[in-house]
Structure 1
Amino acid sequence: MNFICNNKKIFILFKKHKSGEISTSDELTIDGIGSFLEKKGHTLLIKGYAGAGKTTLALQLLKRLGGEKGVYISSRVSPKKLQQQIPWVGDSPKSEMVDVRVGLAASVLEEIVRAVSEKAPVVVLDTWDGLAKEMDEKERLKAEKTLIALADGSETRVIFVSEEPGKTTMDYLVDGIIELVRSEEYGRVFREVEVQKLRGTLIDQHKYLYTLYKGQFKHFHPYREPEHSKLSPVTPKKDTEKGYSFGSDDLDRAFKGIEKGATVTIEYTPKVPYSALRTLFLPLVVNFLSLGRGVVHLPLPGASPHALLKLVGACVKDLKLYRLAVPGSSKDFSAPLFGFSEEQVKEAHKNVSEKLEEVKRLSVDGHALIVDSIGLLENMFSPNLNELLQALAARASRVQREEDIAVFLLPSDSKIKPEILSMSNTHIRVISKDRSIVVMGEKPETEAYVVEHDQNPILPKLWVIV
């Protein structure tokens, strides 16, 4: 970024992205923004509270649309502070910055006239309201109409940044408005980008979650089902100092692994797709099997056992230590499938316990994992919930005593939710927000993360919301 300050030029460039860092190439995929900003002469207002990331977003749009010919006009921050606040400002490609912190509105108009006459692809004015507050109402309206008229019909897109929370005259004059807002849920603050207006452009989704991780603006697309054709074996994760690995680096970083003997409850809301939920516990299943440990799995309600076998089988060479429960008589199934009673809790508990004992005997170190779908069990044994709770409590006690792991998959509307949570050492909550999937630890408490799929779709990619 090439800065003009007191008629002197200071060279500060946009840093190139290293491998593994966030790409700034997707801010144009916020619903409608790409097609909206394709049209030259359009004006866009970016609003939001202090610290929301307005300047970060504006600079990323400048870099994306302007390349070496964009112009950034600042009325509030020096080049030095800009570099401190936004670390990735510092390398190529170059854009021009004009420092008007001690200037008047007239000087801003002069700079925009110059940029338009030079056919700059994009001009960012950060912030307009800092200058506008020094004018009376009539002067401000006249100046704003002049700014819009300069852009209209030209080849230059003009992006205004504003910290004024309410509606102003500028809201009615610009072609598009994006507001960065905050909301609170489950004791966490979520960042949301709200598309309020894009003249002449269809808006399919008005709100997206976003993060400022590593000082860059990244918004999150609606959750997409993974491509199971890309499933492949994963490298087993060794036990952690704390106990067992989740089988995923991202899950281990977020939740610090799993203590031996723990009962982990993953609570999910009705809008969470099964494919998103599975990416939080199937890595653990696959990891246990890959390490030569046994797994007993009671699937989610309505889940296809054969589809599950295919998923797990794509990631593990040998399923001899895997036992997948199917309601019905054991006579009707062969390993890795097994049947369990649909009528009596005690009989079903006995069926599952026998399979757990079987895989523990075959396990390399005598340890095993059991995954219980509370929704499935609750549907099957709704008249006998007290008896079901006793069986699950016995399961949790055995796991703790023998240093295995139990995972309870708990619907958020379960009638036995309080009792299940009281048995749990770890409580992880999964929700759907703005059509993205969010996971957070409640016991122990963690930050909130957006869940996406890694290149190998059995594994999750977690993005912390900061």
Structure 2
Amino acid sequence: MEVLTGLEKRAGKRPGRPENDTNSSRRTAAHIPYELLEFVRRDTYSLLVKGYAGAGKTTLSLTILRTLKIKNNFFYISTRLSPKQLFVYYPWLGRYVDIVPNQDETPPLASSSHRIGYNLSSFEDARLDEPESLFERITNQLMDVKAPIIIIDSWDAIASFMDKEARLNNERVLQTWRERAGAKLIFISENPTDTTLDFLVDGIVELNQKLHDGMRIREIALTKLRGIQIRKPSYIYTLNKGIFQSYNPYDPSDFMFSDSYNNNNINSNINQTERLRRGSPIHTPSPMQDHHVPSGFEQLDEALGGGFPKKGIVLLETQSNIHAKITLTILAGIISNILRNDNPVLIEASGGIDAKVIMSYLRPYLPTEQKKDLVKILCTGTNDELPSDPTMSQYQNVGNSEKQIQYFRDMMVKTRRNYPNKLLVNVLGTAMCRRIHQFNEANGTDLLPFISATADLTLLAVRQHHSTELNLSEMADVQLHLTSISGTLVLHSVKPETHPYAVVTDRSAGYPALRLESLV
């Protein structure tokens, strides 16, 4: 309880943070890990980027240029792709380095067949070059250009033509000239087991891919960053849209509200476009709308074929070490998207989350205060749990599971009758799932047909071990996993299978707005 209080006190300090807040600094670091960013900001260094084919080494090196805002005074040596191919595979690169076509040429973002005659002097096509001539051009760059950044992609292709003694000598020469010129030198290697350069370079990062519960997860390991304290040795990352993007460990306080932070002070007049820009889930019309209920997370809806299936059951399984209020924040985004279209929602208050807390998480997402009347909260605890404002929801205290099940059924029927032409959505926790399971076993009946016939969508939010215990995955049409990987929150649909998404928070609006970013 003391930990929760501390988190909520931190949340109450929003929207601003102290300027010397280390965690805040890490979050503002663009694209690459905080420690690596500190390293590449140095005046001179040598960095070795290791990884097998497809790990994203080229993407990382180009993203470093972008992160450092280096648009000139660099030399990119490519032994695998022509410079023109780079601009095809990385469309943002042409816009970033301001490649200007010759007169009457097609704009830089046109198809590869029209990319002829561009000023690509910073990019060297070294696919057919001899090592000696290429090595000479590198040393000339180090001698003639003031403090350049040179990227050799890849060093393996050049070194493979040298014998061991010549390679070691040339690597020492490059390091010496790099230091004298005050330059930055990035080697790319496709052979992580080769340690020849390890003792010479100032920094080593290795890009890996691994399977985690059926998900392909990319991870960058910070093996060596001379002079930099490595607080976190690894981060997960994505190559989405041809840009390297790593993710910091999530901060639980980013998902918290507190009594000291008055939700009523949040600007409730944020228009729809601004909410979307800030990452708040929002309903997007879809041609599949008649058969699906949009979650509000556009990428997830697209992967699911339009959203959650109508009359379906969606199971959200959460890893046991993730706080219940983080799950509530994700649910709040989904629920608010449903409420925007004046659809009623039945929510079970359970797991230590009472009605007051639920409403405090929902209110910032709602465009009008009147929307709260659409929320019906089922509370089956003691009278002490009842809020001072009983009009915000409907409550009932009942003594045993059978009566609680009956009340739940009655509430569904009543709400359906009051809103005949609207979607009816249930949000249930572990307690109600357990009661339904026990009721079915004791009475030899199945409540699911009744629930599916009455409600348009049922969301089950439970801990993963409880889901296994109650066999909930067997009844689910959509099965989502919320887990923490290397400190990053990851959402993944197991049924149907989709690629995973990093869960990213944005508190610029004064409340935790969420967005999903594809981990590809």
Range 90-99 or range 123-132, more displaced: 90-99
**1:329–1:99 distance in 2 versus 1, CA, 3 Å:** closer
In structure 1, the gaps of 5 or more residues are: 1-24
> Over residues 297-349 of structure 1, what are the superposed CA-to-partner deviations in whole Å (9 max), with x where a residue is unaligned?
11351224322212212333222221223342569552334555575211222
Q: 1:81 Cα shift?
A: 2.5
1:458 Cα deviation after fit: 6.0
Q: Distance in 2 between matches of 1:447 and 1:305?
A: 34
Structure 2 residue aligned with 1:346: 402
The structural deviation recorded for 1:80 is: 2.6
Task: Return the offset for 1:237.
Answer: 5.0
CA distance in 1 between counterparts of 2:42 and 2:444 reads 60
Higher mean displacement: 318-327 or 175-184: 318-327
- 1:58 aligned residue: 61
Deviation at 1:83? 2.5
Match of 1:77 in 2: 81
Letter in 1 for 2:315: T
Tell me the distance in 2 between the aligned counterparts of 1:88 and 1:250. 21
CA-CA distance at 1:390 after TM superposition: 6.6
CA deviations on 1:35-65 (whole Å, 9 max, x unpaired) are 2122222110111111222112112223444
**Using the alignment, how far apart are the partners of 1:124 and 1:343 within structure 2?**
70
Aligned mates of 1:390, 1:344 — CA distance in 2: 13
Which deviates further from its counterpart, 176-185 or 143-152? 143-152
For residue 222 of structure 1, the aligned residue among 223, 246, 249 is: 249
Superposed displacement of residue 431, structure 1: 1.3
Aligned CA RMSD, in angstroms, stands at: 3.0
Q: What amino acid is aligned across from residue 345 of structure 1 in structure 2?
A: S
- Per the alignment, do residues 274 and 93 of structure 1 end up closer, same or farther by CA in structure 2, a change over 3 Å counting? farther
Whether the aligned pair in 1 keeps the contact of 2:423 and 2:455 (CA below 8 Å) is: yes
8 Å CA contact 2:428–2:459 kept in 1: the answer is yes
Aligned pair in 2 of structure 1 residues 390, 299: CA closer, same or farther (>3 Å)?
Answer: farther
* Correspondence for 1:407: 459
Secondary structure in 2 aligned to 1:50?
coil
Q: 2:514 aligns with which of 424, 439, 460?
A: 460
- Structure 1 segment 90-105 matched on structure 2, within 5 A: 90-91=94-95, 92-93=97-98, 96-105=122-131
Secondary structure class of the residue paired with 2:60 = helix
Residue 243 of structure 1 pairs with residue 292 of structure 2: yes
Structure 1 counterpart of 2:14: none
Rounded to whole Å, the distance in 2 between the matches of 1:392 and 1:348 is 18
Q: Which residue of 2 aligns with 1:37?
A: 40
Of residues 124, 127, 138, the one that matches 1:112 is 138
The offset of 1:126, in angstroms, is 1.1
How far is the alpha carbon of 1:163 from its aligned partner? 0.4
Alpha-carbon shift at residue 113 of structure 1 (Å):
2.4
Cα 1:223–1:59 shift into 2, 3 Å: same
Structure 1 runs of 4+ with >6 Å offset: 388-393
The answer on 1:201 being equivalent to 2:201 is no
The residue type equivalent to 2:45 in the other structure is: H
Displacement of 1:210: 1.5
Moved more, 40-49 or 419-428: 419-428
Residue 283 of structure 1 contacts residue 458 of structure 1 at CA under 8 Å; is this kept in 2?
A: no
Please tell me whether the aligned partners of residues 31 and 63 of structure 2 are also in contact (alpha carbons under 8 angstroms).
no
Q: 1:445 to 1:389 in 2, by over 3 A?
A: farther
Question: Equivalent residue for 2:189?
Answer: 162
Shift of the 243–458 alpha-carbon distance from structure 1 to 2, 3 Å rule, reads farther
Deviations 1:357-410 (A, max 9, x none): 333333262542111111x4579x7xx963376799855322212252111112
- In 1: Cα distance, 2:324 partner to 2:125 partner: 52
User: Which of 276, 285, 295 is the aligned partner of 2:335?
Assistant: 285
C-alpha separation in 2, matches of 1:179 and 1:191: 11
- 1:356 equivalent to 2:412? Answer yes
Shift of 1:199: 0.6
Contact 1:262-1:424 at 8 Å conserved across structures: yes
Aligned 8 A contact 2:47 2:187 in 1 = yes
**Structure-1 separation of matches of 2:382 and 2:85:** 70
Number of residues of Structure 1 aligned to a counterpart in Structure 2: 438
Rounded to whole Å, the distance in 1 between the matches of 2:499 and 2:445 is 29
| TM-score, with structure 1 as normaliser | 0.84
Give, in angstroms, the shift of residue 244 of structure 1: 1.9
326-335 vs 279-288, which moves further: 326-335
Pick closer, same or farther for the CA change 1:274–1:153 going to 2, 3 Å. farther
Q: For the residues of structure 2 that align with 1:345 and 1:355, how far apart are their CA atoms? A: 15
Structure 1 position 168, deviation (Å) = 1.8
Comparing 330-339 with 251-260, greater Cα deviation is found at 330-339
User: In structure 1, what is the Cα distance between the partners aligned to 2:204 and 2:301?
Assistant: 39
> By how many angstroms is 1:271 displaced?
3.0
Mark the CA change 1:247 to 1:390 in structure 2 (over 3 Å): closer, same or farther.
farther
Distance 2:443 2:72 in 1: 67
Deviation at 1:440, TM superposition (A): 1.7
The unaligned stretches of length 5 or more in structure 2 are 1-27, 100-120, 258-262, 273-281
Alpha-carbon deviation of 1:452? 1.4
- Which residue identity does 2:149 align to in structure 1? V
Q: Does 2:373 correspond to 1:320?
A: yes
